[in-house]
Amino acid sequence: MKFEFEKEILEEYDKFTLSENLIEKESLRKSIRGKIIAQTELNSLDYQILGLIDTESEDWKDNSEKIIENFEKAVEKDKSNFMAQLYLAHIYHDIGNLELALKNYLKVDTKALKEFQLWRYVKLIEQIGFCTYKLGNETAGIVLFEKVLNWYKQAPENELARPSELVECLPKNHRIVTEIKKIEDYLE
C-alpha cells in the first residue's frame, strides 16, 4: 500500500516540478501536501517532498523554518537519505547561514551522491568550498575549488553544473577562474 502511495506522490511531484503554470503548480502543491499529511505516519521521503514543494514557492523564504524542519525530519527518519541531507544544507545556504550550510554539506554521504549523480557530487565540493572560503578559510576553499576545476577538466562537456559559487568567490583573474572559463566558455 505504501509503495503505491509513494509511486503516486512521486508522479504528482514530477508533474509539479515540470509545471510552469503557477496556478497548476499551487494546485499540485496543495494536493501533494494534503495526501502526505493525511498519512498516519510519515517517512523520510514524505518529509523530503514536503520540504521540496515549499522550496519551489514564491514565498519560500517566509517558510524556510518549516522547510528546514521537514528536511531535518527526513534525515532523522532515515540517516541514509543523503538527498534530504543535501537539501537541508542547500536551504541553509540559500538563507545565508553558511555555518549550518557547511555543517550539513559535510554530513552528505559523498560516495552515495557521487554514484547517484556526478554533477551533484562536484557541485557539493564547490558548495563546501564556497562556504569554507566565505567563512574565512580562503586557502582551504581554494583547495576545494582546485578539485572542482580538475573535475571540469576530465568530465564530458555539459555534464556538470554551472560553477557559479567558484566564480563568485575568486577574483576574475584568478588562475582557477581563468582555466574554468576556457572549459566552460559560456561563463563571462
pTM of the full predicted structure? 0.92
pLDDT digits (tens, 9 = 90+) for 108-162: 999 999 999 999 999 999 999 999 999 999 999 999 999 999 999 998 878 889 9
Report whether pLDDT(16) > 70.
Answer: yes
The pLDDT value given to residue 102: 99
Summarised one tens digit per residue, pLDDT across range 39-55 is 989 999 999 999 999 99
Which pLDDT score, from 0 to 100, does residue 116 have? Answer: 96
Task: Convert the pLDDT of each residue in 76-96 to its tens digit.
Answer: 999 999 999 999 999 999 999
Buried b (16+ CB within 10 A) or exposed e, 65-103: eebbebbbbbbebbeebbbbbbbbbbbbbebebbebbbe
Indicate the domain borders of the chain.
Answer: 1-106, 117-188
**pLDDT on residue 41:** 93
Is residue 187 over pLDDT 80?
no
Query: Is the per-residue pLDDT at 11 higher than 60?
Result: yes
Which residue has 559523498 as its cell numbers? 110
188 pLDDT exceeds 80?
Answer: no
The answer for residues whose C-beta is within 8 angstroms of residue 145's C-beta and 6 or more apart is 126, 129, 133, 166, 169, 170, 176
In tens, the pLDDT along 53-74 reads 999 888 898 999 999 999 999 9
Residues 175 and 177: their CA atoms lie apart, in Å, by 5
1: pLDDT strictly greater than 60:
no
Determine the pLDDT at residue 111. 98
- Cα–Cα distance, 90 to 102 (Å, whole number): 9
Q: What pLDDT is stored for residue 158 in this prediction?
A: 80
DSSP label of 42: -
CATH code of the domain made up of 1-106: 1.25.40
